[in-house]
Every structure is written in structure tokens, then in C-alpha cells.
Amino acid sequence: MSTYETLRLIWWLLLALLITGFAVMDGFDLGVAAQLPFVARSDEERRITINSIGPVWEGNQVWFILGGGAAFAAFPLLYAVAFSGLYAAMFLVLLTFIVRPVGFDFRNKLQAPAWRRTWDSLLCGAGIVAALLFGVAVGNLFLGVPFSFDGDLRVTYTGGLLDLVRPFPLLCGLASLAMLLMHGAAYLRVKTEGVVAQRARTVLMTSALALAVLLAVGGLWVGTLQGFLLANPDPAGPSNPLLQSATRSSGAWLHNYGSYPWMMAAPLCAVGGALLAALAAWRRFELPAFLASALAVVGTLFTAGFSLFPFLLPSSTAPSQSLTIWDASSSQHTLAIMVAMVLLFLPVVLLYTAWVFRVLRGKVTAAYLRENDHSLY
């Protein structure tokens, strides 16, 4: 492979890893918030639940920032089209991210039960909406997004927020919600005890089984969709989507699995991880359930990535102008410099994250809350 082609593949993989890192690390934060009123009934139980993620949720969002930064620097056309055409949906995601820190900080300002219940409901709603929107966004990639370029590469987007709400993306949204509920519940099993952990166990088993079913249904559905295929890919060519040609055909999203059978490991990990998480929860294994849940998350994200490869943002309006890793990337020089920066700084981020979770290991209990009442949420 040419150097340019190799760098594009590396950055597709790095972008996939950063997005997956966000889903694994911040995913359990969103999942915990989404099930807050269900696993925690009293104010003390809710404080235990919130403080299980309290020390780490801000750091976990770094993965989201890294993913956005990588998209901006490595695939600027993808960033430009997605953030302009899908602005309304992304604003809703941003709104849910704003609600979380405000909710964590403000619920403790007053002791009034109604005040705290209001913020708890907002935290729950933010977790549910964010999880659904992420899944709906991925689902729309399989159907194509209505955009096109003119001769000067100026983009025209013809869709709206409600156009994103279609049956298949809604199924993906439900799968995303089930996935994050499972992951959040698995985290609560590790970090809490008593009735909160018992209720989380029920949520974990239910959502893990629901995820396995939704993934199976989604896989069958994808086989009937009009997917995209590149007719004349040029992996080392210029970054200009007007120079390529793409076609649509039924079942095209499954083409990669026939060409590269090893990609089947991703959907097997997704479904298998979900079933293993449910089994581990049933057997009351805490850490194995969390690791199996993380495996399901990784498998689910890479299943989507492998199915879409090499497409980043397919166009339903002009299929031949779809954005792929071969024609939406930065220059070879830019990609090379960024790889060097990643090799330098990513190990630091990983080591620091591992150190933080080691320092903060252990369960959050009612006794711990009472001993540190003034320093916790």
C-alpha cells in the first residue's frame, strides 16, 4: 500500500477507536443517568448512584472531544458536512451534555425533594435522549444523508431534523439505548451494593437480552437495505468526492463480510458480549459482567464501522458524492504529523485514565456518603 493509503487507513482506525473509547468510557455514565429513577428510589440511593460516576464523568468526556478533534483534523470534509447539515441533532446532543454537569451540581443546592426529583428527571432524560440520538445518527448512515456538492465543493443539505426519524434509525436508537443501559447497569454492579446493585442487575439482564435481539433484527434488516458500493476507489488519490463513482444495491452493506470474513468477529462479539453480560449478571459475577458489556459495546461499534467501510458519510441525494476515507481526508503531510502526535500523547491519556480508575476503585456506600457528605454530590 502507498503511504497515503496507509495513513488514511490508520486514521479511520484511530477515529473508530476514539469513538469506541467514548462509547465504552462515557457510555456507562449516560447509562447510569438514564436509569437513575429506576435503580435508585430514595434520595440516599440516588446520591450513591450519582457519586458512582461523579469523579470520572468529566474525564470520560475527553474521548468525545478527541473524536471530534480527530474528525476535524483528519477528515475535514466529514466534519464540515456533518456539523452543518446535522446541526440541529448535534445541538440536541450538546444540550444533553450541558444538562449533566448542571444537574450534578444543582441538585444538591437545596434539600427540597421536589427540587432534587426535578434534576434527577433531567439527568435521566439527558441520558436517554443522548443514547437514542447516537443510535439514530448511526442508523441514518446506513440509509444515506441528503447532501451534495457543487463544482466548487460547496455543500447543499436538503434534510431536516424530523427526516432523521425513520424506522431503521429508530431501531438503531433503541439498540443504542439498550446498550448503554446495559453498560451503565454493569458499572453500577461493580461500584454499588445493596438494593441499587440488585435493581441494576435486573436492568443489566433485561437490557443485555434486548440488545442481543435488536442486533439480530438489525442485522437481518441491513441485508434488505439499499447499501452503497464504490465503483472506482482510488485509495491514494486526491481528496475530492467529485472524482469517484458509487452505486446502490440491496445488501451492499454486507459486502465487506464476504470479502473479509474476519470482520464477522465484530458482530459475534456484539451479540456474544451481550449474552455473556446477561449470563454473568444472572450468576452474580460483577467484573466479568462489566467486561462482557464493554466487549458488546466494542463489537457493536465496529460492526457498524466494518459494514460502512470505506464510507464515512453516504449521500442519498448523490451517491457518487458520498464521503469515504479515500476522498475526505486531510493531506498526507497533515495525517503523518497527527500520527506522530497520537503516538506521543495517547499513551499518556491511557496511563492517566488507568491511574484515575485505580485510585477511585471500590464501592460507593451509604457510610462513605455520610463520611464525605460535604465533598460529594
pLDDT tens digits for range 191-248 = 999 999 999 999 999 999 999 999 999 999 999 999 999 988 888 888 889 888 888 9
Tell whether the model's pLDDT for residue 375 goes beyond 80.
Answer: no
HEC string of 280-319?
HHHCCCHHHHHHHHHHHHHHHHHHHHHHHCCEEECECCCH
The contacts of residue 94 (CB under 8 Å, 6+ apart) are none
Residue scoring higher pLDDT (34 or 244): 34
pTM score: 0.94
Place of cell 444537574: 103
DSSP 252-273: GGGHHHHH-GGGGHHHHHHHHH
Domain boundaries, the chain: 3-375
The residue type at 80: A
**Interaxial angle between packed helices 43-53 and 27-34, expressed in degrees from 0 to 180 and rounded to the nearest 10:** 170
The contacts of residue 123 (CB under 8 Å, 6+ apart) are 33, 36, 50, 99, 100, 103, 104, 107
**Half-sphere exposure for 100 (CA within 13 Å, toward CB):** 28
pLDDT of residue 188: 96
pLDDT of residue 1: 57
Asked if 341 and 331 count as a contact pair (C-beta separation under 8 A), the reply is no
Average pLDDT over residues 322-345: 92
% of the chain with per-residue pLDDT over 90: 65
**Whole-number average pLDDT of the chain:** 91
Place of cell 502507498: 2
